Amino acid sequence: MKRSLLATITAVFTGLILPHLTHAADLPDLKGRTIVAVTENAYAPLNFSDPSTGKGIGWEYDAFNEIAKRLNAKVDWQLSSWDTMIQAVKQGQYDVGMDGITINDKRKKQVDFSEPYMVSEQFMLVRAEEDRFSNAKEFAKDDDLYFGAQPGTTNFYVAVYNVLDGNESNARISLFETFGASVQALKSADVDSVLMDATSARGYIGANPGAFKVTGGPLGTEEFGFIFTPDSDLVAPVNAALQSMKEDGTIDSLNKKWFFDYNQ
């Protein structure tokens, strides 16, 4: 079912985005430069592997491919684990990184950020039949309930500081190497909730009919940005292309494709 759904989405996307593919004359021209981009392929619907081809797809792929097209550049896509991505971009191993990375002061000391391309609020994804708790406060009171999270992610820190006791070693957080592994642990009842932004939650709910639901209200607001090697000359051109995509409706089209049509 997911395979056919993705095919449908691709068709919708093609129809929506093609009118904006022409390079805009008033944007910087990178003269065919190759930009080495890195992501994880474990954060649907922002980046994940197409089950039929194994090729990386998702909101961030489409967005950055479109940015490169408008700047007359090419993208060399690479994969990295989340826990090494920021350091690798900082050291110049990749030109730009993306994985739903929250813009914060700590990370700004390591890498440069683009302007925000998405605003995220964290919600509790639970199994569809869950009835032991209905909000974060009830979850926190029950010591038998566990979160699944990747260490060092927004999801992890919101679980620690917004829901539990502020102890980053709290045994009620089961750690996983990938975001997808934490969701799989939720599905198999090894943990009881995974925090994620509303857009990703809609993606997982849509891709797994009857398996998940969201409970409780938003737990925080975060802004996502692309990360760059410090002092990168790509920041200004990417921001210009991103702004043009916001103004001409391309960002709205991407949101519709991945966060609404994807769920149909």
For range 2-24, the mean pLDDT: 36
Q: What is the pLDDT of residues 78-91, one digit of tens each?
A: 999 988 999 999 99
Listed range (2-6, 16-20, 207-211) with the worst mean pLDDT: 2-6
The secondary structure of residue 263, as a DSSP letter, is G
| pLDDT for 134 beyond 50 | yes
Domains of the chain, CATH where assigned:
34-117+225-261 (3.40.190.10), 120-223 (3.40.190.10)
CA 54 to chain centre: 18
- Which residue type sits at 255? N
For range 125-144, the mean pLDDT: 97
- pLDDT range class, residue 9, cuts 50, 70, 90: very low
| pLDDT for 8 beyond 50 | no
Residue bearing the bigger pLDDT, 23 or 244: 244
| pLDDT for 18 beyond 60 | no
Q: What is the pLDDT of residues 146-202, one digit of tens each?
A: 999 988 887 898 999 999 999 999 999 999 988 889 999 999 999 999 998 877 788
Count of other CB atoms within 10 angstroms of residue 7: 12
| pLDDT for 114 beyond 90 | yes
Q: What is the pLDDT of residues 194-246, one digit of tens each?
A: 998 877 788 788 888 899 999 999 997 789 999 999 999 999 999 999 999 99
Question: Average pLDDT over the chain, rounded to whole?
Answer: 87
Distance separating alpha carbons of residues 238 and 243, to the nearest angstrom: 8
Distance separating alpha carbons of residues 159 and 163, to the nearest angstrom: 5
